[in-house]
Amino acid sequence: MKPKVLKGRIVLRHWDQAAGLTETAQVFSSLDELYAHCLAAADPHLIDRIIIQGEDENGKLRLLSFVFQSITVTSEK
C-alpha cells in the first residue's frame, strides 16, 4: 500500500491591534490543495501550522504537524 494524505488543515494567524491575535483554519484533502492555500496566504495572514492526516504504507493513521514561527521587526525612529 502506498502512503496517502487523507485530509489536513492549514492554520493562519493574524494580529490586529483591536482584536488581538486570531486564527483561521482552511481544510484541504490533497497536497495540491495545501499548495494552493499556501500560495494564497498573504499579509497580514501568516501561516502558523500545517497539520496533515494520512495513512502510512501499512494503513496505519499518521499525523504530521509543521509549526512555523515568524517575527516582524520594525525600525522605530
pLDDT tens per residue across span 9-33: 999 998 888 888 899 999 999 999 9
Cell 496533515 -> residue: 52
pLDDT tens-digit map of 43-64: 888 899 999 999 999 999 999 9
Does the predicted TM-score (pTM) go above 0.85? no
Split into its structural domains, the chain has a count of 1
Residue 63 · residue 52 · CB < 8 Å: yes
Domain annotation covers residue 73: no
Tell me how far CA of residue 32 lies from CA of 10, 35, 37, 39, 66, in angstroms. Answer: 13, 5, 9, 11, 17
Domain annotation covers residue 76: no
Provide the residue range defining the domain that includes 57. Answer: 4-67
Domain annotation covers residue 8: yes
Domain annotation covers residue 77: no
